[in-house]
Structure 1
Amino acid sequence: MGSQEVSTVDWQGKHVTVAGLGVSGIPAARALHERGALVTVVNDGDDERARAQAAELEALGITVRLGDGATLPPSTELIVTAPGWQPDKPLFLAAAEAGVPVWGDVELAWRLRGDNGKKAAPWLAVTGTNGKTTTVRMLASILEAAGLRTAAVGNIGVSLLDAVLGDTEYDVLAVELSSYQLHWAPSLRAHSAAVLNLAPDHLDWHGSMQAYAADKGRVYEGNTVACVYNVADPATEDLVREADVEEGCRAIGFTLGAPGPSQLGVVDGILVDHAELGG
């Protein structure tokens, strides 16, 4: 199972603003600081927990601004945001006006994979309105049964930053991705990906069903082997058709009925493969 080329960034002296403390912000701030970036963390909240987290980061030499997540710090060259921060926040509007790129924790993990000398494992990415967690856990179990070193990561289980920067060298990662995470992951290019289904969700965050679907569809961009879609949900196949993928990448449909060409389906209770996708 091959992996895409690893992108490298010279972090030394780079002014990076991390938006949000918590499960993604703190590991991101630490990882960037360790690589020589000049990190400023901004956070809307200023409660006791936030102050304790800030103290730990400040002890490392990281600047933290509590109660002010709206103002773009001077000299910022990049923002790394927690996935839940909405795109219309003043911080991001100011960044767009200043030409400052915004990444999420998934984008940062994608850029840092292989940074510590380990093999950069390919990602099998799964998104959809419903069923992501169950599917990713099943995928990880299948990969383990095949003898591959893997983990269920992303919006489930181990964080992606921990997975790509930890000591374990994985053969492949089973990655659950939310629409929030995909919105902030412009250069993610999975080995293969699936959109399980699409239904109206988080429309206050995305602004419209069209924008929500477009962010889900980002998971297919640059896929190298397979784009998996739901035959019963034509909107997922539409996203495959719109995606810019690598030459030779296959569209594979799944259905609970009898499969057509390039599909997996069920006949008399037996899983039937008409996709015949080679390794």
Structure 2
Amino acid sequence: MPLSFLPKLVSLLKKGVEWLTVRPDKPDINFNTSDRNIRVDHLKGQNITINIYKEAKDYDPVAAQDMFTALKDDIENHQEIGLQFDPSLSIVTSQKLIPTQRNKIELFKKVGWKPDKLASIKIAFKIINLEDSAQYEEAESLMKSAFNGRKKSMNKKFYNLARSGYLEGFAMQLMISSELHSDEAITKILDYFPEAIFIDDDMDALKFIQELQRREQGSVRRVSVYARGENHITGLNYFYDQYLKYYLKKGAEGINLYILTSREEYKIGASNAVRIELELKYVKTQNF
């Protein structure tokens, strides 16, 4: 049975429009950018995610409405198609960015960061805007959607980097250095960001110890650790206590340890949050 919306979808993709991306289930096929070899039969029989970025400069509401009309007709006719709409991106289009945030995203785009990362940064900024304007329910709804979707890991990481001020630092660094002038550079940061550790649901005492060990091996002298929410704050306290016990039980006379130098308590929206600063120092175990 023919899918009436697919030719229009493929036609839009071939034009390289920035407001539309399509992600089929097959990981070896990527339609996020214009591709002259895209064919309708590439998309048939697949579940696909269609993302609409209404704030893109080339957003065309008429083309989008035409496409959605075709989608609606196909769905109502019960054709054999599977469609998945990313709720985090559909919600986020209704929120506004402030000019400085838009400028940062434009800067990140100019240096080659890919659209999926820019989309996650946009989501992060909009969650922050909702929190800072005391729209806690809306912020929680968007966060829940963004942190449980297909891009949950990237969305979480960029939110943490944005909320803790690191994205601001990256933007400043981009203007004076070429170190982050590639998508590969920011990908490496997402894989391993040595200056900070963010406590989340996946963290446990062993992982926390291993994270600090990696940083010690990399000669990272100072590390910030962030925790948001009472459960994560309790976890942070416990993990650091276990880290100290792990090394002190070795019985060495002296050892390199990440020592707590400061602790800051603050609010993120309605949630309590904590940041601790650790510094790598040589200490005599008899002092503990």
Does the pair score TM above 0.5?
no
Bigger Rg over Cα: 2
How high is the TM-score relative to the length of structure 2? Answer: 0.28
How high is the TM-score relative to the length of structure 1? Answer: 0.29
Greater share of residues in helix: 2
